[in-house]
């Protein structure tokens, strides 16, 4: 009897672009990909923070380089991906939120969130896919979305709209690029405790709301995302495309 073999989770010989790599989920994702053997290019606006991460990864024996990049600048993003690619893996964690009641949403906040979370994510994904198609190579493209791409939330109409849009274009791109061997998926975390979300957790009412919705009775940590990143980037998920991996502690189970 010949037993089946588990597909490899290793990423040796593959090049990964991690956008939003300077902190939080993006930083954790970069570490996870590097630990699995990928050569990682770390992209973000904060160049000094990127260099610190490059040095830490290099000291741990991993291959990494920094790329100062604002994903909301579509032309700069296209040029950078063209110059640095092709990349076998994209992990896009660049994103932002400006929360307010829907009746109080202002144009600048709507535009800022949309420009990065939708337009920036869309054209970054397009640019990486274009490089792969021109090179005749398969790949795995992953956008960090949110549980809020599947549900609604108080004071989060703009953010929810942006993440629902990411879920939509992910499915469409997966359909278009499937025959080229390019997979496109999202990871949808619940509230993850990072420096950027600390103010939310310090608010007693918001913390109580979060705790009431997460069935596992704890908030998320960046480490909770790392395994999912490696899974979707690797051959272990070779038949997974056009879908969302929810890491939400049961928030959307209801």
Instruction: Give the model confidence (pLDDT) of 175-230 as tens digits.
Output: 999 999 999 999 999 999 887 788 788 888 888 888 899 999 888 999 999 999 99
Q: What percent of the chain has pLDDT over 70?
A: 100
For 122, the token pair is 């869309």
Asked whether residue 240 carries a pLDDT value surpassing 90, the answer given is yes
- First-to-final CA distance of the chain: 43
Q: Is 159 considered catalytic here?
A: yes
Q: What is the pLDDT of residue 162?
A: 98
The length of the chain in residues reads: 254
Q: Biggest alpha carbon distance in the chain?
A: 65
pLDDT at 79: 97
Catalytic residue among 123, 159, 191, 251: 159
The pLDDT of residue 200: 81
Instruction: Tell me: pLDDT of 155 over 80.
Output: yes
Residue pointed to by tokens 């597909």: 7
Cβ-contact 214, 249 below 8 angstroms = yes
Q: What is the pLDDT of residue 194?
A: 84
- Please give the order of strands across the beta sheet that includes 139-144: 64-68, 39-44, 15-19, 89-92, 139-144, 182-189, 244-247
Which helix (H) or strand (E) element contains residue 170?
helix 157-177
Least confident among 84-88, 133-137, 200-204, 244-248: 200-204
Distance CA 27, CA 31 (A): 6
What is the arithmetic mean of pLDDT over 3-8? 95
229-238 pLDDT tens trace? 999 999 999 9
pLDDT given at position 172: 98
Confidence band for 11, pLDDT divided at 50, 70 and 90: very high
The pLDDT, as a whole number, for residue 195 is 77
Report CA-CA distances (Å) from 10 to 29, 56, 92, 155: 14, 21, 20, 40
The top-level CATH class assigned to 15-244 is alpha beta
**Nearest alpha carbon to residue 34 among 198, 229, 248:** 229
Nearest partner of 218 among 179, 181, 194, 248, judged by Cα: 248
pLDDT over 80 at 136, yes or no: yes
Main-chain phi, psi angles of 64, to 5 degrees: -155, 150
Classified as helix, coil or strand, 9 is coil
Distance CA 29, CA 130 (A): 23
Averaged pLDDT, 147-161:
94
Q: What is the pLDDT of residues 35-90, one digit of tens each?
A: 999 999 999 998 888 999 999 999 999 999 999 999 999 999 999 999 999 999 99
Average pLDDT over residues 101-115: 96
Pair 63, 34: CB distance under 8 Å = yes
């Amino acid at each position: 009897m010949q037993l089946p073999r588990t597909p490899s989770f290793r990423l040796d010989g593959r090049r990964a672009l991690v956008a939003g790599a300077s902190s939080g989920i993006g930083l954790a994702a970069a570490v996870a990909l590097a630990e699995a053997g990928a050569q990682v290019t770390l992209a973000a606006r904060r160049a000094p923070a990127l260099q610190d991460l490059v040095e830490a990864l290099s000291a741990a024996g991993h291959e990494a380089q920094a790329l100062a990049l604002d994903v909301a600048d579509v032309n700069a993003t296209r040029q950078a991906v063209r110059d640095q690619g092709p990349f076998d893996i994209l992990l896009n964690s660049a994103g932002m939120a400006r929360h307010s009641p829907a009746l109080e949403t202002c144009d600048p906040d709507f535009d800022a969130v949309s420009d990065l979370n939708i337009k920036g994510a869309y054209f970054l994904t397009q640019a990486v896919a274009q490089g792969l198609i021109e090179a005749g190579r398969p790949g795995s493209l992953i956008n960090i979305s949110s549980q809020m791409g599947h549900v609604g939330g108080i004071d989060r109409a703009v953010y929810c709209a942006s993440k629902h849009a990411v879920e939509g274009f992910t499915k469409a791109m997966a359909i278009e690029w499937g025959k080229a061997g390019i997979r496109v998926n999202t990871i949808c975390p619940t509230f993850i405790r990072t420096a950027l979300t600390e103010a939310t957790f310090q608010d007693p009412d918001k913390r109580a709301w979060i705790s009431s919705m997460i069935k596992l009775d704890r908030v998320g940590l960046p480490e909770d995302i790392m395994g999912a990143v490696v899974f979707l980037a690797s051959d272990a998920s070779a038949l997974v495309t056009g879908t969302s991996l929810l890491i939400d502690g049961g928030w959307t189970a209801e």
